[in-house]
Amino acid sequence: MTTSNEFGYVDETGNVFLNGTPDPIKVGQYAAGDPSEGLAFFTKRYEDLLAEIELAAMRLKDGKGNLETVTALIERIEKSISEPNLLGDLEKIKAGKDSLLAGFAEKKAAASEKKAAIKAAALARREELVALSESLEKSNAWKVTGEKYKELLDEWKKLPTTDRAKEQELWKRFSQARSGFDKARRAYFSTLDASRTQAVAAKKSLIAKASELAESSDWAATTAAYKKLMDDWKTLARAAKSEEEKLWAEFKEAQDKFFANRNAANSVRDEEFTKNMDIKLELLKRAETLIPVKNVDAAKAVLREIQETWEKAGHVPRNEKEKIERRLKAVEDAIRKVAEEQWHRTKPEVVERANSLVSSFETSIAKLEKQLAAAVAAAKTSEEEKLSAQLAQAKELLEAARSGAATLK
């Protein structure tokens, strides 16, 4: 007795056959239970496969299908058609397969196109990386450029594989540029190491000289010497950071010791200069009371005493020196001016010349008076007028001469 459905049947021995072909095809055996269960089992295989085909077709249509998964499914479909192991409509399964193949082909073409685009972009980017690499080859910004080359190399490694021959050609150029930079960098730092070794030796020598000068009290000369040492230091190459800091600390320590001593000495000196300043200010007050000059000789005597004390008082702060010396000089100049004026007034030849001028005018007046008396007696009117005018003028000149001579006494 057989049990059947629209797709096939189970015979009395449990063999399951598929209808729809010229001859029924055995698809399996189900002897473990009721024949209807066998029919249901093999029919479900068909339904499951059909559902899987529909889902795969839908995913391909949405662009989400995985080509490897679809390929495996198509292989299972083909086997199910050539060697059926289910009960169902094989034509429908074949139609599903054809639909999948069409979607698969479209998907594969899109994937190939995408892959080609990715490879083209990767190749173009590699060309850009090569150009960047070659542009950096001559750079001497060692740290920044070294880091940039690392970034370029990391990016190169992450790019997808492209045309092997072109990729190798580009890699050769990229590698040559990077190697050129690395070679130049190694050469630079090799030279730098030698330069640093020389600089360290030279700086140790400067430190020794600075240490020898640290206890000097020849402030001006030693300050100039330290300036020269500092100038020499600046011309030398820097050592490695930690060593450079150590060398500088030693050099600075020697300088600091000297300048601390100098500052201490300057503090003592400044205190002394301040005391000297107080003395000179008092002397200035006394000197400035001599102006205006009333008695030249007395003023000169007091000024000499002030000047002697001034010299003995010593140095004052530099920023005050010019100001107070200018004030003292003003007093000296005022007294000198008055003394010179007095000397000119009492000079013998000047007095004699003034007295001689008075006598000359007196003689001229006496002569004019005689001539005028004779003209009056002779009634010479015109001559009388002329002589009267001359006499009046001579008397005016005599008065002026007498006044001038009086100021010289």
Looking at residue 177, what is its pLDDT?
A: 93
pLDDT > 70 fraction of the chain, expressed in percent and rounded: 95
The answer to whether residue 200 scores a pLDDT higher than 70 is yes
Q: List the alpha helices (DSSP H) in 10-63.
A: 35-61
Looking at residue 180, what is its pLDDT?
A: 94
Looking at residue 182, what is its pLDDT?
A: 93
Q: Name the pLDDT band for 169 (thresholds 50, 70, 90).
A: very high
SS3 content of the chain, % helix, strand, coil (to 5): 80, 5, 15
The answer to whether residue 409 scores a pLDDT higher than 60 is no
> What number of other Cβ atoms are within 10 A of residue 175's Cβ?
14
Q: What is the enclosing helix (H) or strand (E) of 194?
A: helix 164-213
Q: Name the pLDDT band for 229 (thresholds 50, 70, 90).
A: confident
Q: How far is CA 186 from the centre of its chain?
A: 28
Q: Name the pLDDT band for 351 (thresholds 50, 70, 90).
A: low
> What number of other Cβ atoms are within 10 A of residue 138's Cβ?
11
The answer to whether residue 352 scores a pLDDT higher than 90 is no
pTM of the entire structure?
0.38
Number of alpha carbons in the 13 Å side-chain half-sphere of residue 190: 6
What does the angle CA 310 – CA 315 – CA 320 come to, to the nearest 5 degrees?
Answer: 95
